[in-house]
Amino acid sequence: MSKEDINRIKNRLEELSKLINKHNFHYHQNDKPLITDKEFDKLVIENSFLEKKYPNLKIKNGPSDNVGGKSKNKFKKIQHKSPMLSLANGFNLEDIKEFDERVKKYLNIELIKKLDYICEPKIDGLSLNLTYKDGILISAATRGDGLVGEDVKKNISNIKNIPTNLKADFPNFIEIRGEVFLTKSDFEKINSKLDKKHKFANPRNAAAGSLRQLDFNISRSRPLKFLAHGVGFSSHEFNYFDEFFLNLQKWGIKKNDISFKSSNMSSIFDFYNKINQSRSNLDYDIDGLVIKLNNIFLQKRLGNVGKNPRWAIALKFSAEKATTTIQDINFQVGRTGSITPVARLQSINLGGVIISNATLHNFDEIKKKNIQIGDIVEIQRAGDVIPQVIKVIKKSSKNSNLISPPKKCPVCGSKTFKEKNEAVLRCINTYGCYAQKISQIIHFVSKKALNIDGFGEKQVQQFYELKFITDVSDIFTLKSFKSKIEALEGWGELSFKNLINSIENSKKISLDKFIYSLGIRFIGEVNSEILAKELKNIDNFILASRKTDVLSNIDGVGPKAINAIKDYFAYKENLILLEKLSKYLDIKENKIKNINNFFNKKNIVFTGTLKSISRDEAKYMAKKVGAKILSSVSKTTDYVIIGEKAGSKAKKAEELGINTLTEDMFLKKINS
């Protein structure tokens, strides 16, 4: 081995040691992993591979010697029996009035009718799903992605109000949901014992860091608390939330004592204000009020839209604000060509997060708020939303020019334009702009799309600049650049092999993820899922792009999305790209599940006003049993469900000789 090789390996081992330590810290102490578990494992594997191969080059106190760096973050994965949904947010009285109206409209009940809601403070902790079988705690899982979490049962065994055995009268099987948190005073105590570098930013981070400690002795030494707030799957059906809460008491599980039941949104809002005012007196952090329908039977009818239940909402306290100086304003060109002005700020700590950039949204906003470089501004950050500049607090003493919208794209120099009724400025060069191309590739490999591990922004840029990739299909021929990539700084034999493996693994993909990965405007996760379900395979998708009537007949896909699909396919290069991609990828067709129901795999159309349920609920019910909802009647329609005051669609059904059903018949058949 040459001296150069030895140095290269030594350097890599040093680098790996630093990386592993850094990520261990972010994962265990901060509970803010910067990379995925898989990426982390890769570093560890590479490290031990090199250590084994070159034992004489192994560094002292490397990751494998470090006990604190017990690197394998292995908690058992647990699939939740019913998904752990997340709540939609509201911010004012209007929002919750609308929420209440939406619930009633969906349930097809009069707006004056009263529905009881249970309200509780929204604790800023971590959700936990306790599963009891025959009264015995069998798992305690973190929320994870809502479907699969990690079992931290060992780590919560010292929490007093999580009994290992339920007392008396329990269902055979039940999922109990609640929040794990640290009180403010306990948080202070823990932090005072940690050295400066390891202190937690806030109680939530401390709770998370404690809960997901691999060394469960540390978890158990931290005084975590638990309060239950909901029920997942249960073998016994509860009729009301308050009935479930009474049972909790019997089983020995605590819920929040602060609770309020009302059907009146104004009284609920008063309660919210009261809680907000007394917030500082509580010994735990809260960030809003949770409002949930008391009637569990109605909850089930309401179901969910995407990841949000229709029957609950979080009324959030206002966002955290701070003031700082704008040091510069840059333009960012996004995946769809949108040009966003971004304020570069003097870094500031906002609720435990260091903020140095904030969006200025668009140029109209800059003008309206009269924002210039050097101004002192108020910024805010609400939840996971990107920080934004709210208003100018003090104008800069220097006279700098007002930022005006660029006539040319700051990246590719092409013309910029604004669409009718849109405030956003865009670069016209959709398929040639460097910024757009790069962000399209980044989108393609991202987590929700192809999910190629170890392929991030940096790698995309590097490979693009070196012309190893010019479009997303080139990702699948990267193998041919093996020696060139391995010779790049930060790359080696193993990291290249890992990348190729990740690329191979990404090739099996579901149709909805594939459609999403194309990055077509307005085609996000929800629309991709709808399109995949309706069109079933990629050929149908391409065919449909040429037929407006097919696309416009898909329930839930709006005209903007339809136009975007047509625009995408009107560009010849995209068709060629799709053809190339379908050669490399194994795109799974969406198969309709065989559900034992009359309407499974049937094409149905609703027309007229339904009496007992809303149109939305009828559609939701039909989709759940595998029916396809069409918006117009054609020869392919199997059934037309006719409500009151039905018009042209009923006539057309008659003309074409299509079976019609009344609302009662529909309900009878769907419920049997």
Tell me the closest approach of the beta carbon of residue 567 to Zn ion, in angstroms: 17
Tell me the closest approach of the beta carbon of residue 408 to Zn ion, in angstroms: 8
Catalytic member of 122, 225, 255, 292? 122
Determine contact, residues 83/233, Cβ cutoff 8 Å.
no
* Strand 586-588, strand 508-510: pairing: parallel
DSSP codes, 209-268: HHHT-SSHHHHHHS--EEEEEEEEEESS--SBHHHHHHHHHHHT--B-S--EEES-HHHH
Distance in angstroms (rounded) separating the CA atoms of residues 108 and 179: 33
Determine contact, residues 417/429, Cβ cutoff 8 Å.
no
For the chain, report the end-to-end CA distance as a whole number of angstroms: 75
By beta-carbon proximity to Zn ion, the closer residue of 326 and 409 is 409
Looking up tokens 């009994």, which residue turns up?
A: 163
User: How many residues are given for the chain?
Assistant: 672
Give the distance, in angstroms, between the CA of residue 4 and the centroid of all CA atoms in the same chain: 46
Determine contact, residues 293/146, Cβ cutoff 8 Å.
no
Sign of CA dihedral 127, 133, 135, 139: negative
Determine contact, residues 178/284, Cβ cutoff 8 Å.
no
Residue 321 tokens, joined: 């604000």
Distance in angstroms (rounded) separating the CA atoms of residues 585 and 452: 13
367 is catalytic: no
Residue type (1 letter), 53: K
By beta-carbon proximity to Zn ion, the closer residue of 411 and 613 is 411
By beta-carbon proximity to Zn ion, the closer residue of 110 and 419 is 419
295: which strand partners?
A: 240
Tell me the closest approach of the beta carbon of residue 337 to Zn ion, in angstroms: 7
Other Cβ atoms within 10 Å of 264 Cβ, number: 12
By beta-carbon proximity to Zn ion, the closer residue of 119 and 427 is 427
DSSP codes, 167-179: -SS--SEEEEEEE
Residues 401 to 440 in contact with Zn ion, rule: CB under 5 A: 409, 411-412, 414, 427, 429, 433
Tell me the closest approach of the beta carbon of residue 436 to Zn ion, in angstroms: 6
Q: Which helix (H) or strand (E) holds 584?
A: helix 572-584
Class of residue 57 by CB neighbours under 10 A (exposed 0-12, middle 13-18, buried 19+): middle
Angle among Cα 103, 104, 110 to the nearest 5 degrees reads 175
By beta-carbon proximity to Zn ion, the closer residue of 78 and 441 is 441
By beta-carbon proximity to Zn ion, the closer residue of 429 and 597 is 429
Residue 446 tokens, joined: 């991202």
149: which strand partners?
A: 78
Site size toward Zn ion, by CB under 5 A:
7
By beta-carbon proximity to Zn ion, the closer residue of 131 and 429 is 429
* Strand 376-381, strand 320-333: pairing: antiparallel
3-state secondary structure of 522: coil
Tell me the closest approach of the beta carbon of residue 415 to Zn ion, in angstroms: 9
Tell me the closest approach of the beta carbon of residue 433 to Zn ion, in angstroms: 3
Residue 457 tokens, joined: 């922004």
By beta-carbon proximity to Zn ion, the closer residue of 48 and 414 is 414
Tell me the closest approach of the beta carbon of residue 432 to Zn ion, in angstroms: 8
By beta-carbon proximity to Zn ion, the closer residue of 426 and 615 is 426
Tell me the closest approach of the beta carbon of residue 414 to Zn ion, in angstroms: 5
By beta-carbon proximity to Zn ion, the closer residue of 213 and 416 is 416
Give the distance, in angstroms, between the CA of residue 230 and the centroid of all CA atoms in the same chain: 21
Tell me the closest approach of the beta carbon of residue 409 to Zn ion, in angstroms: 3
By beta-carbon proximity to Zn ion, the closer residue of 414 and 461 is 414
Distance in angstroms (rounded) separating the CA atoms of residues 18 and 589: 43
Site string for Zn ion, 350-389 (x = CB under 5 A): ----------------------------------------
The phi, psi pair for 295, rounded to 5°, reads: -80, 110
Site string for Zn ion, 266-305 (x = CB under 5 A): ----------------------------------------
Tell me the closest approach of the beta carbon of residue 465 to Zn ion, in angstroms: 16
Angle between helices 525-535 and 538-545 (to 10 degrees): 100
Which residue from 449, 437, 511, 513 is spatially nearest to 474, judged by alpha carbons? 437
Tell me the closest approach of the beta carbon of residue 560 to Zn ion, in angstroms: 22
Active site residues: 122
Q: Given the rule CB under 5 A, which residues bind Zn ion?
A: 409, 411-412, 414, 427, 429, 433
